[in-house]
Structure 1
Amino acid sequence: MLFDDTYRTIAEPSEGIFRDRGSKFIGYAFPLSTDEEAKLILQRIRTEHPKARHFCWALRLSPDRSVFRIQDDGEPSGTAGRPILNAMLSADLSNVLIVVVRYFGGTLLGVPGLINAYKTAAAEAIKESSIVEKTVNDIYEAKFEYLAMNEVMRLIKEEQLAVLDQQFDNHCSIRFEVRKANLNAVIAKMEKIEGLRLKYLTTV
Protein backbone atom coordinates (compact mmCIF):
# COMPACT_ATOMS: atom_id res chain seq x y z
CA MET A 1 0.00 0.00 0.00
CA LEU A 2 1.48 3.36 -0.98
CA PHE A 3 -0.20 5.35 1.74
CA ASP A 4 0.33 4.28 5.32
CA ASP A 5 -3.02 4.99 6.95
CA THR A 6 -1.87 4.81 10.58
CA TYR A 7 0.12 7.27 12.66
CA ARG A 8 1.46 7.42 16.20
CA THR A 9 0.42 10.10 18.65
CA ILE A 10 0.03 10.51 22.41
CA ALA A 11 -3.13 9.69 24.33
CA GLU A 12 -2.99 12.51 26.87
CA PRO A 13 -0.76 15.41 28.01
CA SER A 14 2.47 14.52 29.82
CA GLU A 15 5.52 16.28 31.20
CA GLY A 16 9.20 15.68 31.86
CA ILE A 17 12.02 17.70 33.45
CA PHE A 18 15.71 18.12 32.65
CA ARG A 19 18.21 20.18 34.69
CA ASP A 20 21.63 21.44 33.69
CA ARG A 21 23.89 23.85 35.64
CA GLY A 22 21.04 25.52 37.47
CA SER A 23 18.75 25.89 34.45
CA LYS A 24 15.51 23.94 34.57
CA PHE A 25 13.81 22.74 31.38
CA ILE A 26 10.22 21.52 31.74
CA GLY A 27 8.87 19.62 28.75
CA TYR A 28 5.13 19.46 28.13
CA ALA A 29 3.68 17.19 25.44
CA PHE A 30 0.09 17.62 24.22
CA PRO A 31 -1.98 15.72 21.66
CA LEU A 32 -3.59 18.17 19.22
CA SER A 33 -5.27 18.37 15.85
CA THR A 34 -5.17 22.07 14.87
CA ASP A 35 -2.91 25.12 15.01
CA GLU A 36 -5.60 26.94 16.98
CA GLU A 37 -5.31 24.46 19.85
CA ALA A 38 -1.56 25.08 19.96
CA LYS A 39 -2.08 28.84 20.41
CA LEU A 40 -4.41 28.30 23.36
CA ILE A 41 -2.04 25.81 25.03
CA LEU A 42 0.92 28.20 24.64
CA GLN A 43 -1.06 31.06 26.17
CA ARG A 44 -1.98 28.88 29.12
CA ILE A 45 1.60 27.73 29.74
CA ARG A 46 2.92 31.31 29.60
CA THR A 47 0.34 32.25 32.24
CA GLU A 48 1.33 29.29 34.44
CA HIS A 49 5.05 30.19 34.29
CA PRO A 50 5.29 34.00 34.58
CA LYS A 51 8.95 33.89 35.70
CA ALA A 52 10.27 31.55 32.99
CA ARG A 53 12.77 32.94 30.49
CA HIS A 54 11.94 30.99 27.31
CA PHE A 55 8.98 29.07 25.90
CA CYS A 56 10.35 27.02 23.00
CA TRP A 57 8.21 24.57 21.09
CA ALA A 58 7.66 22.36 18.09
CA LEU A 59 4.53 20.83 16.65
CA ARG A 60 3.83 18.23 14.03
CA LEU A 61 0.40 17.98 12.46
CA SER A 62 -1.46 15.90 9.89
CA PRO A 63 -1.37 12.13 9.64
CA ASP A 64 1.17 12.18 6.80
CA ARG A 65 3.45 14.15 9.18
CA SER A 66 3.96 16.90 6.58
CA VAL A 67 3.09 19.94 8.68
CA PHE A 68 5.51 21.09 11.35
CA ARG A 69 6.46 24.35 13.04
CA ILE A 70 9.29 25.28 15.40
CA GLN A 71 9.94 28.26 17.65
CA ASP A 72 13.23 29.12 19.41
CA ASP A 73 11.67 31.98 21.41
CA GLY A 74 14.84 34.01 21.92
CA GLU A 75 17.31 31.11 22.19
CA PRO A 76 20.08 31.00 19.53
CA SER A 77 18.65 29.84 16.20
CA GLY A 78 18.46 26.07 15.86
CA THR A 79 19.15 25.30 19.54
CA ALA A 80 15.58 24.78 20.81
CA GLY A 81 12.69 24.27 18.36
CA ARG A 82 14.64 21.97 16.04
CA PRO A 83 15.93 19.64 18.82
CA ILE A 84 12.38 19.43 20.24
CA LEU A 85 11.10 18.48 16.77
CA ASN A 86 13.90 15.92 16.44
CA ALA A 87 12.76 14.22 19.66
CA MET A 88 9.30 13.97 18.09
CA LEU A 89 10.73 12.59 14.84
CA SER A 90 12.77 9.98 16.77
CA ALA A 91 9.56 8.75 18.42
CA ASP A 92 7.70 9.02 15.06
CA LEU A 93 4.87 11.07 16.58
CA SER A 94 2.38 13.30 14.81
CA ASN A 95 -0.51 15.54 15.94
CA VAL A 96 1.60 16.54 18.93
CA LEU A 97 2.80 19.84 20.41
CA ILE A 98 5.80 19.87 22.75
CA VAL A 99 6.61 23.02 24.71
CA VAL A 100 9.80 23.30 26.75
CA VAL A 101 9.75 26.01 29.43
CA ARG A 102 13.19 27.21 30.54
CA TYR A 103 14.06 28.76 33.86
CA PHE A 104 17.53 30.29 33.45
CA GLY A 105 19.99 29.29 36.16
CA GLY A 106 22.62 31.98 35.61
CA THR A 107 25.15 29.86 33.69
CA LEU A 108 25.27 29.93 29.88
CA LEU A 109 25.08 26.41 28.49
CA GLY A 110 26.45 27.11 25.00
CA VAL A 111 24.98 25.78 21.77
CA PRO A 112 25.66 22.03 22.35
CA GLY A 113 24.33 22.33 25.92
CA LEU A 114 21.12 24.01 24.78
CA ILE A 115 20.50 21.50 22.00
CA ASN A 116 20.97 18.64 24.45
CA ALA A 117 18.75 20.25 27.11
CA TYR A 118 15.80 20.98 24.80
CA LYS A 119 16.01 17.58 23.11
CA THR A 120 16.24 15.75 26.47
CA ALA A 121 13.36 17.68 28.09
CA ALA A 122 11.18 16.88 25.04
CA ALA A 123 12.26 13.21 25.11
CA GLU A 124 11.45 13.01 28.85
CA ALA A 125 7.93 14.34 28.19
CA ILE A 126 7.47 11.75 25.43
CA LYS A 127 8.78 8.99 27.73
CA GLU A 128 6.07 9.87 30.29
CA SER A 129 3.26 9.75 27.70
CA SER A 130 1.19 6.81 26.45
CA ILE A 131 1.75 6.42 22.74
CA VAL A 132 -1.22 5.24 20.70
CA GLU A 133 -1.62 4.30 17.07
CA LYS A 134 -4.52 5.89 15.21
CA THR A 135 -5.90 5.32 11.74
CA VAL A 136 -6.21 8.10 9.21
CA ASN A 137 -9.92 8.59 8.56
CA ASP A 138 -11.89 10.64 6.06
CA ILE A 139 -15.15 12.28 7.05
CA TYR A 140 -17.95 12.29 4.49
CA GLU A 141 -21.51 13.46 4.41
CA ALA A 142 -24.16 11.36 2.65
CA LYS A 143 -27.48 12.90 1.64
CA PHE A 144 -30.35 10.67 0.56
CA GLU A 145 -34.13 10.29 0.50
CA TYR A 146 -35.95 8.73 3.45
CA LEU A 147 -36.79 5.64 1.37
CA ALA A 148 -33.11 4.76 1.04
CA MET A 149 -32.49 4.89 4.78
CA ASN A 150 -32.58 1.13 5.47
CA GLU A 151 -30.09 0.49 2.71
CA VAL A 152 -27.74 3.22 3.96
CA MET A 153 -27.93 2.08 7.60
CA ARG A 154 -27.28 -1.54 6.62
CA LEU A 155 -24.17 -0.51 4.71
CA ILE A 156 -22.94 1.61 7.64
CA LYS A 157 -23.39 -1.36 9.98
CA GLU A 158 -21.70 -3.83 7.60
CA GLU A 159 -18.69 -1.57 7.09
CA GLN A 160 -18.58 -0.59 10.82
CA LEU A 161 -18.49 3.12 10.00
CA ALA A 162 -18.51 5.62 12.86
CA VAL A 163 -21.57 7.89 12.58
CA LEU A 164 -20.80 11.45 13.74
CA ASP A 165 -24.13 13.09 13.05
CA GLN A 166 -27.43 12.05 11.54
CA GLN A 167 -30.68 13.76 10.56
CA PHE A 168 -33.66 11.78 9.39
CA ASP A 169 -36.46 13.68 7.74
CA ASN A 170 -37.89 13.52 4.23
CA HIS A 171 -34.35 14.41 3.20
CA CYS A 172 -31.80 12.57 5.32
CA SER A 173 -28.13 13.21 5.96
CA ILE A 174 -25.44 11.28 7.80
CA ARG A 175 -21.90 12.33 8.57
CA PHE A 176 -19.59 9.38 8.97
CA GLU A 177 -15.91 8.51 9.37
CA VAL A 178 -14.25 5.92 7.17
CA ARG A 179 -10.71 4.56 7.42
CA LYS A 180 -8.68 5.68 4.39
CA ALA A 181 -7.66 2.11 3.56
CA ASN A 182 -11.34 1.10 3.22
CA LEU A 183 -12.46 4.30 1.51
CA ASN A 184 -12.69 3.15 -2.12
CA ALA A 185 -14.71 0.03 -1.27
CA VAL A 186 -17.16 1.98 0.90
CA ILE A 187 -17.63 4.77 -1.67
CA ALA A 188 -18.24 2.22 -4.45
CA LYS A 189 -21.03 0.61 -2.38
CA MET A 190 -22.54 3.98 -1.41
CA GLU A 191 -22.64 5.11 -5.02
CA LYS A 192 -24.84 2.12 -5.89
CA ILE A 193 -27.59 3.45 -3.60
CA GLU A 194 -30.08 5.35 -5.75
CA GLY A 195 -30.21 9.11 -5.25
CA LEU A 196 -27.44 9.15 -2.63
CA ARG A 197 -25.04 12.12 -2.84
CA LEU A 198 -21.66 12.04 -1.12
CA LYS A 199 -19.55 14.99 -0.07
CA TYR A 200 -16.00 14.84 1.31
CA LEU A 201 -15.57 17.05 4.40
CA THR A 202 -12.12 16.52 5.94
CA THR A 203 -9.41 14.06 6.99
CA VAL A 204 -8.63 13.32 10.63
Structure 2
Amino acid sequence: MSNQLNNFKTISGTAGPVLYREKKSRFIGYAFPVSSVEAADQQLASLRKEHADATHVCYGYRIGIVNTHLRMNDDGEPAYTAGSPILGQITSAGLYDVLVCVVRYYGGVKLGVGGLSKAYKEAAKGVLESSAVIRRKAVSLIRLQFQYPQLDDVMGFISQNRLKVTSQQMELDCTIELVVSTEKSEAFCLRLASIGGVEVQKKEVFR
Protein backbone atom coordinates (compact mmCIF):
# COMPACT_ATOMS: atom_id res chain seq x y z
CA MET A 1 0.00 0.00 0.00
CA SER A 2 1.51 3.34 -1.06
CA ASN A 3 2.06 6.17 1.38
CA GLN A 4 -0.81 8.08 -0.23
CA LEU A 5 -3.17 5.19 0.49
CA ASN A 6 -1.68 4.64 3.95
CA ASN A 7 -2.87 8.06 5.11
CA PHE A 8 -5.74 10.32 4.25
CA LYS A 9 -7.58 13.33 5.62
CA THR A 10 -11.19 13.35 6.73
CA ILE A 11 -13.29 15.14 9.35
CA SER A 12 -13.72 13.95 12.91
CA GLY A 13 -17.40 14.73 13.28
CA THR A 14 -20.46 16.50 11.96
CA ALA A 15 -20.08 20.21 11.20
CA GLY A 16 -22.77 22.81 10.64
CA PRO A 17 -25.18 24.31 10.23
CA VAL A 18 -23.17 27.14 8.67
CA LEU A 19 -25.27 29.89 7.07
CA TYR A 20 -24.44 31.79 3.87
CA ARG A 21 -26.82 34.42 2.49
CA GLU A 22 -27.10 35.66 -1.08
CA LYS A 23 -29.87 38.03 -2.24
CA LYS A 24 -32.37 36.85 0.38
CA SER A 25 -31.73 33.15 -0.28
CA ARG A 26 -30.31 31.16 2.61
CA PHE A 27 -27.73 28.45 1.99
CA ILE A 28 -27.08 26.20 4.99
CA GLY A 29 -24.00 23.98 4.90
CA TYR A 30 -23.50 20.65 6.67
CA ALA A 31 -20.56 18.25 6.59
CA PHE A 32 -20.63 14.62 7.73
CA PRO A 33 -17.94 11.95 8.05
CA VAL A 34 -19.21 8.89 6.15
CA SER A 35 -17.42 5.63 5.38
CA SER A 36 -19.94 4.14 2.92
CA VAL A 37 -22.49 5.16 0.32
CA GLU A 38 -25.19 3.66 2.56
CA ALA A 39 -24.14 5.92 5.44
CA ALA A 40 -24.27 8.94 3.12
CA ASP A 41 -27.78 7.99 1.96
CA GLN A 42 -28.93 7.74 5.58
CA GLN A 43 -27.55 11.18 6.41
CA LEU A 44 -29.22 12.65 3.33
CA ALA A 45 -32.58 11.09 4.22
CA SER A 46 -32.34 12.48 7.74
CA LEU A 47 -31.38 15.96 6.53
CA ARG A 48 -34.18 16.05 3.98
CA LYS A 49 -36.63 15.12 6.70
CA GLU A 50 -35.25 17.86 8.96
CA HIS A 51 -35.53 20.42 6.13
CA ALA A 52 -38.70 19.12 4.52
CA ASP A 53 -39.73 22.69 3.60
CA ALA A 54 -36.42 23.57 1.87
CA THR A 55 -36.34 24.53 -1.80
CA HIS A 56 -33.31 22.34 -2.56
CA VAL A 57 -31.00 19.93 -0.71
CA CYS A 58 -27.86 19.62 -2.83
CA TYR A 59 -24.77 17.60 -2.04
CA GLY A 60 -21.46 16.07 -3.02
CA TYR A 61 -19.38 13.31 -1.50
CA ARG A 62 -16.08 11.49 -1.88
CA ILE A 63 -16.03 8.10 -0.18
CA GLY A 64 -13.27 5.49 -0.14
CA ILE A 65 -9.52 5.89 -0.41
CA VAL A 66 -8.93 2.91 -2.75
CA ASN A 67 -12.19 2.39 -4.67
CA THR A 68 -13.38 5.97 -4.51
CA HIS A 69 -17.05 6.86 -4.95
CA LEU A 70 -17.71 10.40 -6.18
CA ARG A 71 -21.19 11.82 -6.46
CA MET A 72 -22.81 15.22 -6.80
CA ASN A 73 -26.47 16.19 -6.99
CA ASP A 74 -28.07 19.50 -8.01
CA ASP A 75 -31.55 18.57 -6.70
CA GLY A 76 -33.36 20.62 -9.33
CA GLU A 77 -30.94 23.53 -9.59
CA PRO A 78 -29.47 24.22 -13.06
CA ALA A 79 -26.94 21.53 -14.02
CA TYR A 80 -23.52 21.81 -12.35
CA THR A 81 -24.43 24.91 -10.31
CA ALA A 82 -24.73 23.13 -6.95
CA GLY A 83 -23.32 19.61 -6.70
CA SER A 84 -20.22 20.39 -8.74
CA PRO A 85 -19.00 23.35 -6.64
CA ILE A 86 -19.77 21.41 -3.45
CA LEU A 87 -17.72 18.40 -4.59
CA GLY A 88 -15.02 20.76 -5.81
CA GLN A 89 -14.54 22.09 -2.28
CA ILE A 90 -14.18 18.55 -0.89
CA THR A 91 -11.52 17.62 -3.44
CA SER A 92 -9.74 20.98 -3.08
CA ALA A 93 -9.45 20.34 0.67
CA GLY A 94 -8.00 16.87 -0.03
CA LEU A 95 -10.69 15.15 2.04
CA TYR A 96 -12.09 11.62 1.80
CA ASP A 97 -15.05 9.91 3.46
CA VAL A 98 -16.91 13.21 3.56
CA LEU A 99 -20.44 14.21 2.60
CA VAL A 100 -21.23 17.93 2.25
CA CYS A 101 -24.84 19.09 1.92
CA VAL A 102 -26.11 22.58 1.23
CA VAL A 103 -29.76 23.28 1.99
CA ARG A 104 -31.28 26.23 0.11
CA TYR A 105 -34.29 28.29 1.07
CA TYR A 106 -35.24 30.47 -1.90
CA GLY A 107 -35.55 34.13 -1.08
CA GLY A 108 -37.51 35.31 -4.10
CA VAL A 109 -34.61 36.72 -6.15
CA LYS A 110 -33.03 34.65 -8.95
CA LEU A 111 -29.26 34.40 -8.71
CA GLY A 112 -28.37 33.18 -12.18
CA VAL A 113 -25.93 30.40 -12.98
CA GLY A 114 -22.87 32.30 -11.77
CA GLY A 115 -24.55 33.44 -8.59
CA LEU A 116 -25.78 29.97 -7.75
CA SER A 117 -22.36 28.39 -8.29
CA LYS A 118 -20.72 30.98 -6.09
CA ALA A 119 -23.30 30.60 -3.32
CA TYR A 120 -23.04 26.80 -3.18
CA LYS A 121 -19.25 26.98 -3.32
CA GLU A 122 -19.10 29.48 -0.45
CA ALA A 123 -21.57 27.50 1.67
CA ALA A 124 -19.57 24.30 1.18
CA LYS A 125 -16.29 26.09 1.81
CA GLY A 126 -17.64 27.65 4.99
CA VAL A 127 -18.80 24.41 6.56
CA LEU A 128 -15.56 22.61 5.67
CA GLU A 129 -13.53 25.42 7.20
CA SER A 130 -15.53 24.93 10.40
CA SER A 131 -14.83 21.17 10.42
CA ALA A 132 -12.15 19.47 12.51
CA VAL A 133 -9.82 17.75 10.05
CA ILE A 134 -7.98 14.60 11.13
CA ARG A 135 -5.58 12.21 9.44
CA ARG A 136 -6.37 8.50 9.44
CA LYS A 137 -3.74 5.79 9.00
CA ALA A 138 -3.97 2.27 7.64
CA VAL A 139 -3.06 -0.51 10.06
CA SER A 140 -3.32 -4.29 9.88
CA LEU A 141 -5.68 -6.19 12.12
CA ILE A 142 -4.32 -9.72 12.69
CA ARG A 143 -6.58 -12.42 14.09
CA LEU A 144 -4.99 -15.53 15.60
CA GLN A 145 -6.86 -18.75 16.32
CA PHE A 146 -5.15 -21.67 18.07
CA GLN A 147 -5.46 -24.29 20.78
CA TYR A 148 -4.52 -23.66 24.40
CA PRO A 149 -1.20 -25.64 24.21
CA GLN A 150 0.15 -23.00 21.75
CA LEU A 151 -0.65 -20.12 24.12
CA ASP A 152 2.85 -19.80 25.64
CA ASP A 153 4.51 -19.63 22.22
CA VAL A 154 2.03 -17.08 20.92
CA MET A 155 2.19 -14.85 24.01
CA GLY A 156 5.98 -15.08 24.01
CA PHE A 157 6.07 -13.78 20.42
CA ILE A 158 3.62 -10.97 21.26
CA SER A 159 5.64 -9.92 24.30
CA GLN A 160 8.98 -10.08 22.50
CA ASN A 161 7.73 -7.87 19.68
CA ARG A 162 5.66 -5.56 21.92
CA LEU A 163 2.55 -6.05 19.83
CA LYS A 164 -0.75 -4.38 20.73
CA VAL A 165 -3.51 -6.82 21.68
CA THR A 166 -7.01 -5.43 21.07
CA SER A 167 -9.03 -8.46 22.18
CA GLN A 168 -8.43 -11.96 23.45
CA GLN A 169 -10.34 -15.08 24.41
CA MET A 170 -8.37 -17.63 26.43
CA GLU A 171 -10.15 -20.98 26.60
CA LEU A 172 -9.48 -24.35 25.04
CA ASP A 173 -9.94 -22.61 21.67
CA CYS A 174 -8.04 -19.31 21.89
CA THR A 175 -8.52 -16.15 19.81
CA ILE A 176 -6.31 -13.05 19.89
CA GLU A 177 -6.55 -9.90 17.77
CA LEU A 178 -3.52 -7.66 17.23
CA VAL A 179 -2.97 -4.30 15.58
CA VAL A 180 0.33 -3.78 13.78
CA SER A 181 1.69 -1.35 11.20
CA THR A 182 1.02 -2.27 7.60
CA GLU A 183 4.74 -2.19 6.86
CA LYS A 184 5.51 -4.99 9.34
CA SER A 185 2.32 -7.01 9.10
CA GLU A 186 3.41 -9.47 6.40
CA ALA A 187 6.58 -10.46 8.26
CA PHE A 188 4.67 -10.85 11.54
CA CYS A 189 2.02 -13.01 9.87
CA LEU A 190 4.62 -15.34 8.40
CA ARG A 191 6.38 -15.75 11.74
CA LEU A 192 3.14 -16.32 13.62
CA ALA A 193 1.99 -18.87 11.06
CA SER A 194 5.26 -20.74 11.61
CA ILE A 195 4.10 -21.55 15.15
CA GLY A 196 2.48 -24.96 14.75
CA GLY A 197 -1.33 -24.96 14.98
CA VAL A 198 -1.82 -21.18 14.68
CA GLU A 199 -4.29 -19.92 12.05
CA VAL A 200 -3.57 -16.34 10.96
CA GLN A 201 -6.01 -13.94 9.26
CA LYS A 202 -5.24 -10.35 8.28
CA LYS A 203 -7.18 -7.35 7.04
CA GLU A 204 -6.43 -3.66 6.55
CA VAL A 205 -8.38 -1.08 8.53
CA PHE A 206 -8.10 2.68 9.04
CA ARG A 207 -7.74 4.20 12.49
Equivalent in the alignment of 2:104: 102
Equivalent in the alignment of 1:135: 137
Q: Which moved more, 1:22-31 or 1:130-139?
A: 130-139
Q: Is the 8 A contact 1:159 1:186 kept in 2?
A: no
- Any gaps of 5 or more consecutive residues in structure 2? none
Q: Is the 8 A contact 2:163 2:179 kept in 1?
A: no
Equivalent in the alignment of 1:118: 120
Equivalent in the alignment of 1:10: 11
SS in 2 for 1:136: strand
Q: Is 1:195 equivalent to 2:197 in the alignment?
A: yes
Evaluate the alpha carbon distance shift between residue 166 and residue 86 of structure 1 in structure 2; reply closer, same or farther with a 3 A threshold: same
Distance 1:99 1:135 in 2: 26
Q: Is the 8 A contact 2:163 2:178 kept in 1?
A: no
Q: Which moved more, 1:81-90 or 1:144-153?
A: 144-153
Q: Is the 8 A contact 1:58 1:81 kept in 2?
A: yes
Equivalent in the alignment of 2:59: 57
Letter in structure 1 aligned against 2:10? T
Distance 2:101 2:140 in 1: 29
- Any gaps of 5 or more consecutive residues in structure 1? none
Distance 1:173 1:93 in 2: 36
Aligned pairs (5 A) from 1:18-37: 18-37=20-39
Distance 1:21 1:135 in 2: 43
Q: Quote the RMSD (CA, aligned, Å).
A: 2.3
May I ask how many residue pairs the two structures share in their alignment? Answer: 203
Q: Is the 8 A contact 1:24 1:105 kept in 2?
A: yes
How far residue 14 of structure 1 moved from its aligned partner, in angstroms, is 0.7
Aligned pairs (5 A) from 1:62-101: 62-64=64-66, 66-101=68-103
Distance 2:124 2:141 in 1: 32
Evaluate the alpha carbon distance shift between residue 100 and residue 152 of structure 1 in structure 2; reply closer, same or farther with a 3 A threshold: farther
Normalised by the size of structure 2, how large is the TM-score? 0.85
Letter in structure 2 aligned against 1:29? A
How far residue 177 of structure 1 moved from its aligned partner, in angstroms, is 4.0
Distance 2:133 2:67 in 1: 16
Q: Is the 8 A contact 2:138 2:204 kept in 1?
A: no
Distance 2:53 2:108 in 1: 14
**What is the percentage of aligned positions where both structures have the same residue?**
34
Bigger radius of gyration, 1 or 2? 2
Distance 1:136 1:69 in 2: 24
Q: Which moved more, 1:154-163 or 1:191-200?
A: 154-163
